[in-house]
């Protein structure tokens, strides 16, 4: 029961709540939403992302392809289908989830309305996670810009986890879901990651390794190409119920992702770090 002496709060929540416009979101994210967003993303650092009007293809890159994502926050409904699809595709164990959906309150509003933000690995142009690896197990592929982990080399030291300002790396502590623990038929299903088709087993990689989103690169053909029509497409983008996750080659000026960056304003998170993420957000 409420304390009788306490002043009851004013009810009437139903006042005229302001609209959420695009401009609002941008302004709020920049002004203060982003600070809390950054706080949610970073381990300790409070950093505001800058508005980045992207140029799709940055000249001077030798790389053939630069795979990236353009995620439309207006279309993201926060359903988490991407998170489940990622598990279904990569067979990640408990505690390892290559993508998550952040739910960030837009601070100034009187109703705590959330903004949903799906967050895979950003496959940064300058990935802070790479140079800290003492054994050269993690690197950015020159052919497509995807940052990978060589499970055979990774010693599980987790420096890269600390180095990633976006919390996109996860340690595989060797936990298993009951379907694996109890040796159901599912226990024999391998993870297709890196086309290595590793079956889960105690003491076997990737248990003990650091793991991360690969843009489902195992779905590329021999030429390094994806094909949406035949289902060889990153699992999160394929299942996205609001069609919010656009995926493609940022080096190809005609790709959907490049076109979207030309037409729409996009931001990248923690731009000031100079990491140059290859994942953009449309607001």
Partner 1 sequence: MPESDAQKITRRRLFKLGGGAATGVAAAAAVSGLGTRSGEHDLRVNAAGLQRWGRDAGQWVPSCCNMCGGQCGIMVHVVDGIVEKIEPNNWNPNNYTNISTDWFDGYTDEHGCKEGAVICPKGNAGVMALYDPDRVKTPLKRTNPDKSIGADPRWQEISWDQALDEIAAKLKALRDSGEAHKLIWFSEDHSFTHPQMDFCTLFGTPNYSNHANLCDVSRKASFRTILGDDRPLADFIQSKYIMLFGWNPTSAIKWVHLPRIITRAIEHGARLVVVDPYLSDTAAKAQEWVPIRPGTDGAFALALAHVIIRDRLYDREFVEKWTVGFDRFADYVKDKTPAWAETITSIPAATTERLARELATTKPALVDVWSGPGQHSNGVQGGRAIGLLNALIGTIDAPGGMINPDKAKTKHNAPQPDDTAAETLKQPRFDERSKYPLSHSSGIYAQSFVNLAEDKGPYKPKIGVIVFQNPMMAVPGSQTVAKALAKLETLVVIDTMLSETAMLADYVLPGTVYLERYDINAHWVTWPAIGLRQPVVKPLFGQPAEYETVAALGRRLGLKDKSGKEFFRIGAISGQPVEDLTAWYEEYLSAELKGGSPGITLEEFKKLPGAVWVDRKGTRYRKYADTIPADQLTGAFYDGDRAANGTVVYDKPPQAGGKPIGVVVDGAVRKGFNTPSRRVEFYAKSLEGKVDALGNPVDPLPVYVPRDWQPDEQYPLYLINWKEASHTHSRTFNNPWLLHLKSENPLIIHPDTAARFGLKDGDEVIIESPYGSTRGKIKATRRMHPEVVGLQHGFGHWAGGRNAVGRGTADAGLRPTRADPLSGQAIHKQTCVTLRKA
Cβ at position 121, least distance to partner 1 in Å: 14
Select 73 or 258, whichever has its Cβ closest to partner 1: 73
Burial 54-73 (b: 16+ CB within 10 A, else e): bebbeeeeeeebbbbbbbbb
Select 129 or 279, whichever has its Cβ closest to partner 1: 129
Cβ at position 189, least distance to partner 1 in Å: 6
Q: What share of the chain is helix, strand, coil (3-state, %, to 5)?
A: 25, 15, 60
Other beta carbons within 10 angstroms of residue 31's beta carbon come to 12
Helix or strand run (H / E) with residue 281: strand 279-282
Cβ at position 24, least distance to partner 1 in Å: 11
What DSSP line would sit under 76-105, residue for residue? -----HHHHHHHHHH---TT--S-EEEEEE
Count CA within 13 A, CB hemisphere, residue 96: 26
Whether the bond into 206 is cis, omega within 30 of 0: yes
Cβ at position 140, least distance to partner 1 in Å: 5
Cβ at position 179, least distance to partner 1 in Å: 4
**3-state DSSP assignment of residue 45:** coil
Select 233 or 280, whichever has its Cβ closest to partner 1: 233
Select 196 or 252, whichever has its Cβ closest to partner 1: 196
Select 78 or 224, whichever has its Cβ closest to partner 1: 78
């Amino acid at each position: 029961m409420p304390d009788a002496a306490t002043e009851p709060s004013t009810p009437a929540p139903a006042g005229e709540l302001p609209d959420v416009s695009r401009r609002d979101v941008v302004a709020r994210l920049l002004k203060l939403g982003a600070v809390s967003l950054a706080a949610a993303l970073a381990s300790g650092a409070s950093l505001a992302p800058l508005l980045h009007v992207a140029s799709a293809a940055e000249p001077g890159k030798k790389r053939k392809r630069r795979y990236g994502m353009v995620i439309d926050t207006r279309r993201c409904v926060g359903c988490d289908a991407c998170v489940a699809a990622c598990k279904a595709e990569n067979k990640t164990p408990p505690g390892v989830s290559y993508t998550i959906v952040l739910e960030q309150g837009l601070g100034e509003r009187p109703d705590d309305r959330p903004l949903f933000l799906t967050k895979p690995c950003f496959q940064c142009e300058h990935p802070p996670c790479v140079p800290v690896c003492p054994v050269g197990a993690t690197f950015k592929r020159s052919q497509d810009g995807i940052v990978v982990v060589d499970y055979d080399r990774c010693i599980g030291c987790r420096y890269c986890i600390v180095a990633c300002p976006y919390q996109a790396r996860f340690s595989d502590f060797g936990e298993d879901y009951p379907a694996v623990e109890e040796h159901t038929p599912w226990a024999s299903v391998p993870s297709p990651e890196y086309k290595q088709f590793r079956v889960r087993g105690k003491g076997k990689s990737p248990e003990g390794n650091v793991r991360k989103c690969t843009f489902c690169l195992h779905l590329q053909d021999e030429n390094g190409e994806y094909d949406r029509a035949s289902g060889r497409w990153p699992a999160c983008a394929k299942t996205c119920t609001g069609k919010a996750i656009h995926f493609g080659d940022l080096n190809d000026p005609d790709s959907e992702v490049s076109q979207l960056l030309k037409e729409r304003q996009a931001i990248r998170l923690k731009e000031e770090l100079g990491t140059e993420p290859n994942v953009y957000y449309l607001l």
